[in-house]
Structure 1
């Protein structure tokens, strides 16, 4: 009994260590320069965790690692469920069927094309290809985190995928307003907002890029982005089923959809549906959102702590090449898709 109590204490110490890093990440993300770059606490958190994991991790008791692992897995699942408070069905309905079709088409196309190019052309591991594609096609770092459990990816694969979101999402945040200022985008205000929201990686990056647009266009951009966030659920279900089939087929069995259902994704959808009824005060929802962002940051810190540079080197430059290709597909293909839908 004493040993069990001591183990729980060590686990709690590991969780508290991760929480301290998450607090620091939130503080840093709110500073002028970092805030201006649109880098969320999640991104800062995984960078801090990775630096720590490759320098000072040997200076903590190995027993604390259970708390770090708990943060990267269990806390992550709770955070994904609470992420449902960020969206409502009413918001999605406000952009019309074109916006919903646009979001679904972008997510489906990027996941499919990204997996094919990554595994067939670039000879990447399926897990890394899927995580990189999810980061580009759905909602950046949050999508990478949500996909990590169903792909059963390792921490270094998750970290590399998040790194591609930082590079190309930040590039998009500055490039899109620049091109718009040069009148490259011949679109209406609503269409321009949907274009920004459907093709830029992170929510914060969409907000940053669309701030150069009209108020109406910015509203459409954010709602379209949150519609892509909701696509996490079907994407996780399909990817989970697909990965289960790959594993089971190699073992001469048949994939089971029931066995691969990630219930935290179902929880996310249930919370989003509940949030649509507007039963909770807005102040409470805002507080839940802040707590959720902190929990997601903890998960990112923990994943960073579990990431080793030598393992990241094994992935090589393939993830960044894939992310660059997907970035061009999003920017060019997304534009013509918006035109095709007649928005």
Structure 2
């Protein structure tokens, strides 16, 4: 079969840009936002951004001054294997996951930065406050009452397959250049998702190579592309990625840094929907059709529709977990689930 033709991502529509004049403006714009948007120069005054504008080496030196003495987990691609961190032909990962000190990792980047054919080196989702001292305080976006997880992503040129996340996400390009290609949440079937339990980084990814899509193998991907938008970020620019939006991420410069913030605007005691999906696979997916139809109706009744008829006939003081959850009833429900799984 002939190799799929290259696809020019720059021809896709660009994500809308918003102007934000203050932290209060940003807070108001994020509240309830369900569409992606770009904010130019949101972090232009960060010391990390200014260091990166001088050179990749200056950005690394800045990070080294803030590092804590601990092992960092990083991905190391195969020399000559390209920038895509993905599966190989055997559906194993085409990179190794290793640990090392930050000076050691940066030493490897120093030795190969900008050289064609060098291995991809990628530190993904590093907790800024756990692994660095003062870095978050000197380089952060104020997000009001939200309590986000602040992570930093560091590395050479990479391409990360389209995936989604449950939390909302504000992604800030701190050094180098980043290109995001976004698809709405409902495009999951057109993205041809891979395994759930064997993934490059914990989230299910699209099996389509976005830069060279094989439309013969993945014909519905044309429908996904009809919904796609891109954002090309320079140092200091930020992109809001709403919950569950699929995003393909490219680090385009010889050295790249991204800082992102994840948060969920839900009550903190609620569980993760992905866990419920996994449990449904364990308990329901392989039942006979008539049993699956019964459980689908029960899920509609108790979860997706959840109308007044579910509890109208039960005294309020006896509704338990059928009433809106509290921290106490959520804890009781979680304990029951754990007991059932441990049998």
With structure 1 as the length reference, what TM-score do the two structures score? 0.26
From the two aligned structures, give the one with the greater strand fraction: 2
Q: TM-score, normalised by structure 2?
A: 0.26
Higher normalized contact order (CA 8 Å, seq sep 6+, divided by chain length)? 1
- Structure with a larger share of its residues in helix: 1
